[in-house]
Amino acid sequence: MELHKFGFKFFAADADKVDLLALIPVFHRWIQGNALGDILIDVGDYSHVPAGPGIILVAHEGNYGFDENGNRRGVQYYSKQPLQGDLPTRLATVARKTLQAAQLLSQDAELNGTVRVPGNELQFFANDRLVAPNTDEAYAALEPALTAFLDRLYAGVPYSVERERDPRERLGVTVRAQEPVALETLLERLAS
């Protein structure tokens, strides 16, 4: 599957304690300090949209954000440009960017530890309905690469995968590992 436009969302714990507007100056600081190594462009405030995109950090390569879709908050990144490597490698690249943002948010002194991402629950979603419509055939094409990626990410920790079945929604899955896994551990597993 030649999928390049997709993303991950790692769900936050106690996310109702996060003041979305407090993320705006943090993301502006990331732009000024080139905190993520991408070409960071601007910050978008969608906090007024119920169950919406929250606060977005727009970059050339993709968009970062603290998302509220599905009434569940979490740290999100989705790619907008072609990526190198086979699909499991591309999945690891996008997940790594998401985890780096989650780690930076969780360690930010101005946020006082309000952003906590236990690493045991994530959502994958395809942003290209031409390449990856939400069909059984598209999921069958995605599943081997997704399983290879998840086995690497959770390395021995049992996990479950729940597919989005509504054909009006994007092709996606929600993954739940049976125990929390530290962001540092997940990043180490994706670094090699």
**Domain range annotation of the chain:** 6-191
pLDDT by position in tens, the chain (length 192): 899 999 999 999 999 999 999 999 999 999 999 999 999 999 999 999 999 999 999 999 999 999 999 999 999 999 999 999 999 999 999 999 999 999 999 999 999 999 999 999 999 999 999 999 999 999 999 999 999 999 999 999 999 999 999 999 999 999 999 999 999 999 999 996
pTM of the model: 0.96
Confidence (pLDDT) at 192? 62
Rg of the chain on CA atoms, in Å: 16
Q: Are the C-beta atoms of 67 and 9 separated by less than 8 Å?
A: yes
Q: Which two tokens stand for residue 128?
A: 């290209």
Confidence (pLDDT) at 149? 98
Q: Which candidate, 100, 84, 116, 86, places its Cα nearest to that of 34?
A: 100
Cα–Cα distance for residue pair 116/75, rounded to 1 Å: 10
Helix, strand, or coil (residue 28): helix
Confidence (pLDDT) at 146? 98
